[in-house]
Chain A
């Protein structure tokens, strides 16, 4: 044995495994990735989930329909308003309840502000993952204005719980319109700064161009939605294909880029911020008058059957499936979360790239781990 060891080829390489996470600054949460690597080349990525599993779907079976809404704040906490809206839309669809136009418009505006805040945070963190710490502070400066709007109108900065089945929890604050207008004016001057800070940077481009190539066929086969899918040239957006709230009344484009790499997913999100600003501008001046809530019964009972509603969160398509047996609690609730489907393609995309590129690929999908685990 001793002799065999001595004659071993000194340049022979071996595959070995390392853990990335669950406490890793680039996974933004408790995601554990089992990496099989050869030197620095990634051979296989196995995500290991369950570190932040709270069984939200099971908890929903013991809650009333009003109580379910606040649990969805805790899934994708960066698009919490859109998650709440999804549940409320499902319940309203089941009850065949038509909400006033005012509610629809306010939901759309707050939803787009949520998307902007989410993309701003993503932009800051994306730069930070790649090694540019400055972006983080610029993004959070602008995000603070949106958080103030939420805090004043909804009562919380992150887990807002502003929607209730049948409308909104409160009417908008008197300052809401002015604050949103001030924000849009402010952010229109700051968004070009994002481009000159990071987008044109040579180091950034070397790190992102041609990394994590995803073809449109792969993206569709793995069920990737959101900016990831649109970065591969597929112009699918639930806001356009299945309009909800006030999205059928506004004009907006679906930004698509065809390269399918990290850089094109980055460009999609930057373009989406411009689209969100334009949607807010179209709606903010003509919020219709009316009630902010349709009166519902204190105990909502859905009719027997299955109900499904899809919305577009900042990360992709969120589906809410409610199976009701006619009681005040749902029989089964299932959330089709965008993060889970987007994670499934990570192994396929990152094979053959280096560990540093894996961080860029992960950041380009903007994983929110509580959304994946639920």
Chain B
């Protein structure tokens, strides 16, 4: 007797599961949950806080806000940031000020923990939202964040 009740129970349980999948099968065109990813690049917008990579914003006069204080370099847990800096004489005041030569960022070593952005006292670096970082050669993942010929913004004090 239990043999037949097992068969009955088995078929019933299979039908219960299939009723769920069947429901979605019928209404699939209206309940699509996937994104057509490479085709929707134009409309795809990431969330503001999404951490894709570290960038240094420059304004229209090619000015950035980095004073070269190296807070980000100290805060970084895995050495992704290197700052090459020098002291040069400022023409207006005549004092020696710290100026960055290169703000080098290794995206290949970065864990995107956001500690550098939190540590920055002048908001010179922010997280960008792009996430398509695949390249053919890993040397392309070492980036110089300050643009050539850029200077520190005059409002920013060390």
Interface, chain A (partner B; CB < 8 A):
63, 66-67, 69-71, 73, 134, 141, 144, 148, 151-156, 159, 161, 164, 169-170, 173, 193, 196-198, 200-202, 205, 298
Of all chain B residues, the one with the shortest Cβ separation from A204 is: B13
B51 with A156: CB separation less than 8 A: yes
Give the chain A neighbours of B115 by CB distance below 8 A. Answer: 66-67, 70
Of all chain B residues, the one with the shortest Cβ separation from A153 is: B49
Give the chain B neighbours of A148 by CB distance below 8 A. Answer: 47
Instruction: Tell me the complex Cα distance, A197–B18, Å.
Output: 7
Give the chain A neighbours of B93 by CB distance below 8 A. Answer: none
A156 with B50: CB separation less than 8 A: yes
Give the chain A neighbours of B77 by CB distance below 8 A. Answer: 63, 67, 70-71
Give the chain B neighbours of A141 by CB distance below 8 A. Answer: 33
Interface residues on B, range: 20 to 34
Of all chain B residues, the one with the shortest Cβ separation from A142 is: B33
Of all chain B residues, the one with the shortest Cβ separation from A205 is: B13
Cβ of A120 to closest chain B Cβ, rounded Å = 14
Instruction: Tell me the complex Cα distance, A134–B48, Å.
Output: 33
A173 with B49: CB separation less than 8 A: yes
Kindly list 18 other residue pairs between chains A and B, CB separation below 8 angstroms, not including A67-B75, A70-B115, A196-B16: A66-B115, A70-B77, A70-B111, A152-B47, A156-B50, A159-B112, A159-B113, A161-B113, A170-B49, A193-B20, A196-B20, A197-B17, A197-B21, A200-B13, A202-B6, A202-B10, A202-B14, A205-B13
Cβ of B16 to closest chain A Cβ, rounded Å = 5
Interface, chain B (partner A; CB < 8 A):
6, 9-10, 13-14, 16-17, 19-21, 33, 46-51, 75, 77, 111-115, 118-119, 127
Instruction: Tell me the complex Cα distance, A73–B33, Å.
Output: 28
Closest 10 pairs (CB-CB, A-B): A67-B77, A70-B113, A202-B10, A155-B49, A152-B47, A202-B13, A155-B51, A200-B13, A161-B113, A197-B17
Q: List 14 A-B contacts (CB under 8 A).
A: A63-B77, A70-B111, A71-B77, A151-B47, A151-B50, A152-B48, A152-B49, A156-B50, A169-B114, A196-B16, A196-B19, A198-B17, A202-B6, A202-B9
Of all chain A residues, the one with the shortest Cβ separation from B111 is: A70
Of all chain A residues, the one with the shortest Cβ separation from B10 is: A202
Cβ of A333 to closest chain B Cβ, rounded Å = 14
Cβ of A176 to closest chain B Cβ, rounded Å = 11
Of all chain A residues, the one with the shortest Cβ separation from B11 is: A202
**CB contact between A161 and one of B33, B48, B114 (< 8 Å): that residue:** B114
Cβ of A330 to closest chain B Cβ, rounded Å = 14
Instruction: Tell me the complex Cα distance, A141–B127, Å.
Output: 28
Instruction: Tell me the complex Cα distance, A155–B20, Å.
Output: 34
Contacts known (A144-B33, A169-B114, A173-B49); A155 close to B17, Cβ less than 8 A: no
Instruction: Tell me the complex Cα distance, A198–B113, Å.
Output: 38
Cβ of A181 to closest chain B Cβ, rounded Å = 18
Give the chain A neighbours of B50 by CB distance below 8 A. Answer: 151, 155-156
Q: Which of A153, A170, A202 has the most CB of B within 10 A?
A: A202
Cβ of B107 to closest chain A Cβ, rounded Å = 15
Cβ of B138 to closest chain A Cβ, rounded Å = 19
**CB contact between A200 and one of B16, B21, B113 (< 8 Å): that residue:** B16
Give the chain A neighbours of B20 by CB distance below 8 A. Answer: 193, 196-197
Instruction: Tell me the complex Cα distance, A324–B87, Å.
Output: 38
